[in-house]
C-alpha cells in the first residue's frame, strides 16, 4: 500500500514538474518573440467565405492582405452585392494576423464535420513561404471555438460604408 501511495506521489510530482517546464518554455518563447519586435507575420492573406444555408444566410467572401488591402464580394442574400475594395492600415491587419498565429491556426484540420443547414465558414490562408491552407466547416461545434471569434474580428472590418469602393457588380447566373 505504501509503495502505491509513494508511486502515485512520484507520478504527480513528475507531471507537475513537466507542466512547470512547459510553462517556462512558453514564457521564454514569448519573450524571444517580443524581443525580436517584428511587426510582420508569416501570413500573406486570409479569406473567409460564409456560405448560404437552406434559408437566407448571406453568401460572401472577405479577403484581407498583409499590406492592408481588403476585398469584399457579396453574393446571394448578402447585405451588399458585388465586389468592393478598401485599404486598411497594414498594422491593423498585421495585428489581426498575429491573433491567427497566436491561436496556431496553421495546426487546424483541413475540414471539420459538416452540419446540415448551418451556413459554412471556410478559411483560405496564404503564407509568405507559399504554403496555402484551407479550413472547411470552421463554425461547427466540432471546430475550435476561436475560429468563429477570428472570423467575427474579420467581419467587424467588413461593414460596407462610404469608405469602400465598388469595383464590380454581382449577378446571379440562372
Quote the pTM value.
Answer: 0.76
Give me the pLDDT at residue 16, please: 35
Q: Tell which residue, 82, 79, 66, 58, has the closest CA to residue 165.
A: 82
Instruction: For residue range 143-169, list pLDDT tens digits in order.
Output: 999 999 999 999 998 788 989 999 999
Instruction: For residue range 8-65, list pLDDT tens digits in order.
Output: 333 333 333 333 333 333 343 343 343 344 567 899 999 999 999 988 999 999 999 9
Give me the pLDDT at residue 170, please: 80
CA dist 73 and 30 (Å) reads 37
Amino acid at each position: 500500500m505504501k509503495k502505491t501511495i509513494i508511486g502515485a506521489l512520484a507520478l504527480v510530482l513528475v507531471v507537475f514538474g513537466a507542466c512547470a517546464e512547459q510553462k517556462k518554455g512558453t514564457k521564454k518563447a514569448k519573450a524571444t518573440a517580443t524581443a525580436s519586435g517584428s511587426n510582420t507575420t508569416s501570413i500573406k492573406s486570409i479569406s473567409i467565405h460564409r456560405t448560404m444555408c437552406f434559408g437566407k444566410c448571406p453568401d460572401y467572401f472577405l479577403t484581407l492582405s498583409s499590406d492592408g488591402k481588403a476585398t469584399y464580394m457579396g453574393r446571394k442574400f448578402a447585405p451588399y452585392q458585388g465586389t468592393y475594395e478598401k485599404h486598411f492600415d497594414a498594422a491593423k491587419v498585421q495585428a489581426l494576423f498575429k491573433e491567427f498565429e497566436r491561436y496556431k491556426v496553421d495546426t487546424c484540420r483541413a475540414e471539420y464535420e459538416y452540419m446540415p443547414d448551418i451556413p459554412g465558414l471556410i478559411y483560405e490562408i496564404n503564407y509568405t513561404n507559399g504554403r496555402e491552407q484551407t479550413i472547411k466547416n470552421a463554425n461547427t461545434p466540432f471546430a475550435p471555438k476561436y475560429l468563429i471569434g477570428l472570423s467575427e474580428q474579420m467581419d467587424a472590418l467588413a461593414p460596407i460604408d462610404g469608405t469602400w469602393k465598388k469595383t464590380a457588380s454581382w449577378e446571379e447566373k440562372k
